[in-house]
Structure 1
Amino acid sequence: MTSSRRPAARRRIAVLRREAVLATVPVAVAALLGAGAPTAAGTTGAAGAGDPYFPLSGNGGYHVRHYDLTLRYDTSSRHLDGTAVLTARATQRLSRFDLDLKGLKVTGVTVDHATAGFTRSGQELLVTPRHALHEGQSFRITVTYNGTPKPVTDPDGSADGWIPTDDGAFVAGEPQGAMTWFPANTHPKDKSSYDFTITVPEGRTAVAGGILTGQHTAHGRTTFRWHQPEPMAAYLATATVGKFTLERYTTPDGIQVVNAVDPREARDAAPVLKKLPSVLAWESKLFGPYPFRAAGSIVDHAPDVGYALETQSRPVYDAAPDLSTLVHENAHQWFGDSVALTAWKDIWLNEGFATYTEWLYSEQHGGPSAQKTFDALYARPAGDDLWAFPPGDPGSGKNIFDTPVYDRGAMTLHELRGAVGDRAFLRILRAWASEHRGGHGTTAQFVKLAERLSGKNLDALFHTWLYAKGKPDRA
């Protein structure tokens, strides 16, 4: 994510800033979700995935393998009709389970085509199937719902989820907004493939991640179909709607690119989007093969949003991005999207990595070196916000998009680079992306990988830069 309120600002000065198939997922989903499951009789799925920053985010007791979302959005009335079909597997015996859904009216729920009981409690949709589900059982949940979706306000005061715009909606779900427009298991621990069928008034375009598999217009409405085959966390899904011009092409590497641009942003966006193939090629050279079949950009005109987000395979921008923001959001396709978090406190693995990619791009394309950027940041006094908390454990959801996560997170990587040398450093980044491709990673796993590939004990380095309070002393 980048933001005018957050460290990787869209227009900040460069010197200081800038299932893979499901069967191959390297971290067992059942084990990940088990952390949030109850320890008693085990027949009721937990209301959350166990994340201390967002206790009700996600659910326990099952893994969603696939979402099939059928949406119809009226841009005049801002009314949404939805049908969500979730293909899931129980990770424990379940007499009841939860889904995350906020603010929309549920009109029906079935489990394996049989009518299921349901109630609402805050952001939880509590589902009671007609027959208890056995551990390991595959099952299908169908939820029909409607209403006027509204964004949620995050702990830092920003809005995410389904955010209305003057011509549609800007849809960006980090960290908890997916539940504003479809019922989901919303924690990043649970990754799934997706299909989107989105119908909007003729003249509007609906853009999701993945491959555009078809569109047709009839009776004054246009339906767009998108397929996201690789596993994706719910917060990285989008269904952004607006008046967009579509550009489609295939890169020399076979990546299918779709750019959707609001005409009001087209002039400013064009020179930056033209660089997308070269940015992806450069990042692929550094980090290994691009992890998805599709790429692109959604450039909206949404002046009240204030940020861009790395929605999987097709980042969404609230305005024409600058080049550093394009580099940042596409670096997330490796770090944050393909390799996902298991806990929000590890957010530096996303934002620190994407920010350091900006530094590397600048260094290799005629801008300030990473060392110069590091030195400018380190020169900030001890009372600066940069040193307000350690990036390895921000302390609350309110802090996860603040300066230390981005900039001190990137500084941690620069210190690692200096300690192990450029060759070992790039081997570590490539191995991180390849060994956890399509799955999850933790800070402890990254530290272990860095020590294994460098042959060095790096405990002191990571403790100092990730976990020590205040401005670190340099050796």
Structure 2
Amino acid sequence: MPHTPRTPAPAAPAPADAPRPRARRRLRAAALLASAVSVCLLAASAPPTPLGVGDRLYPHLGNPGYDVAAYDLDLTYTGDNSKPLRAVTTIDARTTADLDRINLDFAHGTVDSVEVDGEPAGFETAGEDLVITPDDALDPGSWTRITVRHTSDPVYPEDREGGWVRTADGLAMANQADVAHLVFPCNDHPSDKARFTFRITAPDGLTAVANGLPTDVDRAGTTTTWTYRTEHPMATELAQVSIGRSAVLHRAGPHGLPVRDVVPAGQRAALEPWLAKTPGQIAWLEGKVGRYPFETYGLLMADAATGFELETQTLSLFERELFTEPGYPAWYLESIMVHELAHQWFGDSVSPKTWSDVWLNEGHATWYEALYAEEKAGKTVAARMKAAYGASDRWRAAGGPPAAPKPPAPGSKTGIFRANVYDGAALVLYALRQEIGAPAFERLERAWAERHADATASTADFVRLASDVAGRDLTGFFQGWLYGAKTPPMPGHPDWHPTATDTPSADKAGPHARLPHGGVRQAG
């Protein structure tokens, strides 16, 4: 019989000045009671409604009225990745409005019960929301704890992808951009970052790993419970849990940073030459943009064919076969490793305020991927950017300009992750460096990563900071490069022109690059 999840401990301590979860409201004055009861009855009689935070690209995601401080995920895995996990998700949140109902994003699993501050609460589904009705409304500015007992199902309908990824020996997660709520109830939008605690129970012989650092290992009978906790806030799309027959390898990075890799146990020798490159790559990026922003880093090599790699915070997800199957040049693989590593600064530590700001994530990761390939393998950035310039007008027509990508098409495999937010966005950064000069550009990059660490930031924030660093208003420059239907002239390269068809280039090695053997890869 599988282990039943314990009632979780607090996911992370609330701020020192935070009150304990709210006390029940006292009765209002008799003169106001009738009016208040009428309003509450009217709200209670209305049907549950799915909400969102108004994101232009994913309007159904996120929920207003509260700010999550911490998640505690307690998961019990039976050893069969075709069957649901038993789960308890506990959310500590501060309310920002008067709430008669609480909406969470959750769309794939069975909810057994819900408690709000230790008291049973009603719940219904509406669209992809779990709508919770506590006995008493929540006051704005109060702390509340929501506990949901549910299943987490790794088997999805054919029209849904992401969330749990079933591997050859277990499970991993790939939640970007809009599917964390297929795994656990949450406020599934990067604007609401929180600290996470993971508690994963699995049969002996399996190893569980998650974001952050380990805090406990508890062996009981034929199962082991592994606990991990993040030291920094994290967006739901970046959550990672790996369960499998894995080896966990440790080494030291710059400044004694713990570097931890998770690989299939039988593949550790074959993968070690690649894993050994990570400390040097971290040092290289620190030389460009400043100190690594988190408590640990490493690669999760999953035995699964995903078709992509993903920057899950502190533990980037890669396909194992990418490094063990022939056909990919070494410089290309190393640059993709740097792409996901760069995301730890750009996208993870500094998260997008809305999904329209995703160009800041992917453009920067692609930029440093290209810069690394130039410095380490002689694959020039200018040649790659010239090829991107030739294709940029077509990318904009197909996917929208970099800072205003078109909404994802129903059933799309790539969603919003098209060429316009990868090489198209890196092209914007190249144009900016041409416009303000390399020294100012490098100061901007460091200032951006430092000023917005552990927070969210928008395109407007980047334009404002770039103008400050350059000492002049760059609004007009960015307007054309970020929002124009046509690509503006490239500063310093009047000979660059759009091309009618893609220009093959050995220097073009981005997430959508044509590789020597003819394959196409996508990085997160």
Q: Provide TM-score, normalisation by structure 1.
A: 0.86
Given residue 283 of structure 1, which amino acid in structure 2 is its aligned partner? L
Report the Cα distance in structure 2 between the residues aligned to 1:363 and 1:22, rounded to whole angstroms: 45
Q: Structure 1 residue 62 and structure 2 residue 66: aligned? A: yes
**2:318 aligned partner:** 317
Q: Please state how far the C-alpha of 1:158 moved relative to its aligned partner.
A: 7.4
Determine helix, strand or coil for the equivalent of 2:195.
strand
Report the Cα distance in structure 2 between the residues aligned to 1:328 and 1:369, rounded to whole angstroms: 16
Q: Please state how far the C-alpha of 1:248 moved relative to its aligned partner.
A: 1.9
**1:262 aligned partner:** 264
Report the Cα distance in structure 2 between the residues aligned to 1:56 and 1:64, rounded to whole angstroms: 18
**2:352 aligned partner:** 341
Aligned identity (percent) is: 37
Residues 158 and 265 of structure 1, relative CA distance in 2, 3 Å threshold: farther
Given residue 311 of structure 2, which amino acid in structure 1 is its aligned partner? E
Residues 239 and 47 of structure 1, relative CA distance in 2, 3 Å threshold: same
Q: Please state how far the C-alpha of 1:68 moved relative to its aligned partner.
A: 1.0
Q: Structure 1 residue 458 and structure 2 residue 463: aligned? A: no
Residues 70, 194 of structure 2: 8 Å contact kept: yes
Q: Structure 1 residue 368 and structure 2 residue 379: aligned? A: yes
Given residue 281 of structure 2, which amino acid in structure 1 is its aligned partner? V
Q: Provide TM-score, normalisation by structure 2.
A: 0.78
Post-superposition Cα deviations, 1:247-286, rounded to whole Å, max 9, x if no partner, equal 1233341322211012465455322211111111111121
Report the Cα distance in structure 2 between the residues aligned to 1:270 and 1:386, rounded to whole angstroms: 43
Q: Give 2:190's match in structure 1, choosing from 175, 188, 191.
A: 188
Report the Cα distance in structure 2 between the residues aligned to 1:255 and 1:123, rounded to whole angstroms: 39
1:273-288 to structure 2, matched below 5 A, reads 273-288=275-290
Report the Cα distance in structure 2 between the residues aligned to 1:308 and 1:270, rounded to whole angstroms: 18
Q: Which structure 1 residue ranges, 4+ long, deviate > 4 Å from structure 2? A: 43-46, 380-388
Report the Cα distance in structure 1 between the residues aligned to 2:236 and 2:104, rounded to whole angstroms: 12
**1:163 aligned partner:** 165
1:209-228 to structure 2, matched below 5 A, reads 209-228=211-230
Determine helix, strand or coil for the equivalent of 1:354.
helix
Report the Cα distance in structure 1 between the residues aligned to 2:200 and 2:191, rounded to whole angstroms: 26
1:376-455 to structure 2, matched below 5 A, reads 376-380=387-391, 383=394, 388-398=399-409, 399-455=415-471
Report the Cα distance in structure 2 between the residues aligned to 1:120 and 1:380, rounded to whole angstroms: 44
Report the Cα distance in structure 1 between the residues aligned to 2:422 and 2:128, rounded to whole angstroms: 29
Residues 170, 302 of structure 1: 8 Å contact kept: no
Residues 116, 146 of structure 2: 8 Å contact kept: yes
Report the Cα distance in structure 2 between the residues aligned to 1:100 and 1:245, rounded to whole angstroms: 34
Q: Please state how far the C-alpha of 1:385 moved relative to its aligned partner.
A: 7.7
Q: Give 1:357's match in structure 2, choosing from 368, 374, 377.
A: 368
Given residue 336 of structure 1, which amino acid in structure 2 is its aligned partner? G
Q: Which of 1 and 2 has greater Rg?
A: 2
Residues 253, 282 of structure 2: 8 Å contact kept: no
Given residue 87 of structure 1, which amino acid in structure 2 is its aligned partner? D
For structure 2, which runs of at least 5 residues remain unmatched after alignment? 1-10, 16-38, 324-332, 410-414, 492-524
Post-superposition Cα deviations, 1:293-349, rounded to whole Å, max 9, x if no partner, equal 11111111101x111111111111122452111101110011000111111111101
Post-superposition Cα deviations, 1:371-427, rounded to whole Å, max 9, x if no partner, equal 122123334485468975311111213452001110010010011111111111011
Residues 45, 97 of structure 1: 8 Å contact kept: no
Report the Cα distance in structure 1 between the residues aligned to 2:370 and 2:300, rounded to whole angstroms: 24
For structure 1, which runs of at least 5 residues remain unmatched after alignment? 1-18, 24-39
Answer with 436-445 or 252-261: which moved more.
252-261
Q: Please state how far the C-alpha of 1:71 moved relative to its aligned partner.
A: 0.5
Q: Structure 1 residue 208 and structure 2 residue 213: aligned? A: no
Q: Please state how far the C-alpha of 1:45 moved relative to its aligned partner.
A: 9.5
Answer with 167-176 or 328-337: which moved more.
167-176
Residues 51, 344 of structure 1: 8 Å contact kept: yes
Post-superposition Cα deviations, 1:164-215, rounded to whole Å, max 9, x if no partner, equal 2231112110011211221101100100001101011222222211002232
Residues 211, 256 of structure 1: 8 Å contact kept: no
Residues 309, 317 of structure 2: 8 Å contact kept: yes
Given residue 298 of structure 2, which amino acid in structure 1 is its aligned partner? G
Larger RCO: 1 or 2 (CA < 8 Å, sep 6+): 1
For the aligned residues, what is the CA RMSD? 2.5
